[in-house]
């Protein structure tokens, strides 16, 4: 069963990513929740090193584990997929 993440959680994740990657030239409201964060047409243009930093920040901030590389790749695909994962982990604990 999918858990629908809140808009507040999505904005929190956007701000976490922007702070973690020191992005200052993008408005969080311009980041599309469903567009891919990597190689897509989103306001953020991220690479694989950014992905590693995002995973580490999520693990620290939300006290979650992303040990499976294939699963992590799917989770950090978009703001929405990250938020779904965080919401699901919060609900399970």
What is the predicted pLDDT for the residue at 2? 65
Determine if residue 39 is left, alpha or beta; phi over 0 gives left, psi from -120 to 50 gives alpha, anything else beta: left
What is the pTM (predicted TM-score) of this model?
0.92
Axis-axis angle for helices 79-92, 7-20 (nearest 10): 110
Extents of the domains making up the chain: 7-92
- As its CATH architecture, domain 7-92 has Orthogonal Bundle (1.10)
Of 21-25, 67-71, 83-87, the one with minimum mean pLDDT is 67-71
Predicted pLDDT of residue 92: 84
* pLDDT, average across residues 7-33: 96
At 1 the pLDDT is 54
> How many Å apart are CA 46 and CA 49, to the nearest integer?
8
Q: Which of 2-6, 19-23, 80-84 has the lowest mean pLDDT?
A: 2-6
Question: Residue 67: its pLDDT value, please?
Answer: 86
Percent composition of the chain: helix, strand, coil (DSSP 3-state, to 5): 55, 0, 40
85 has pLDDT over 90: yes
């Amino acid at each position: 069963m999918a858990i629908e993440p809140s808009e507040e959680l999505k904005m929190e994740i956007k701000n976490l990513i922007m702070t973690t990657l020191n992005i200052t030239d993008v408005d969080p409201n311009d980041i599309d929740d469903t567009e891919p964060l990597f190689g897509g047409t989103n306001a953020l243009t991220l690479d694989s090193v950014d992905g590693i930093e995002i995973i580490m920040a999520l693990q620290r901030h939300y006290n979650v584990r992303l040990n499976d590389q294939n699963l992590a790749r799917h989770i950090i695909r978009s703001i929405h997929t990250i938020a779904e994962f965080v919401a699901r982990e919060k609900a399970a604990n």
